[in-house]
Chain A
Amino acid sequence: MEVRTRTEPGGESVLSLSGRLTMVAGNALQTAVDAASAGGARLVVVDLHDVEFMDSSGLGALVGGLRSMRAVGGDLRIARPGAQVRTVLELTTMDRVLRPHETVEDALGAS
Chain B
Amino acid sequence: MPPDLRARAHVEHCVTPACLERLHAAFADLWRRAPEVPDEDRLLFETAVVEIAANVIEHTERRESFDADVRLRVSPGLLEADVVDSGAFVPLDLDGDLPADDLATAGRGLPLARRAVHELRHHHDGEHNHWYLMRRWSTVP
Do B44 and A87 touch (CB < 8 A)?
yes
B88-140: which residues lie under 8 A (CB-CB) from chain A? 98, 102-106, 108-109, 111-112, 115-116
Decide if A91 touches B17 in the complex (CB within 8 Å).
Answer: no
Report the bound CA distance from A96 to B99 in whole Å.
14
Cβ of B111: which chain A residues have Cβ within 8 Å of it? Answer: 91-92
Chief secondary structure at chain A's binding surface: helix
Identify which of residues 21-40 in chain A touch chain B, using a CB-to-CB cut-off of 8 Å: 22-24
Instruction: Compute the total of residue contacts between A and B using a CB distance below 8 Å.
Output: 73
Q: Are B112 and A24 in contact (CB under 8 A)?
A: no
The interface residues of chain B lying within 8 Å CB-to-CB of A20 are: 20-21, 24
Number of chain A residues whose Cβ lies closer than 8 Å to a Cβ of chain B: 26
Residues in chain B within 8 A of chain A (CB atoms): 17-18, 20-21, 24, 39, 43-44, 46-47, 50-51, 54, 57-58, 98, 102-106, 108-109, 111-112, 115-116
* A residues whose Cβ falls under 8 Å from a Cβ of B: 20, 22-24, 53, 55-57, 59-61, 63-64, 66-67, 70, 83-84, 87-88, 91-94, 96-97
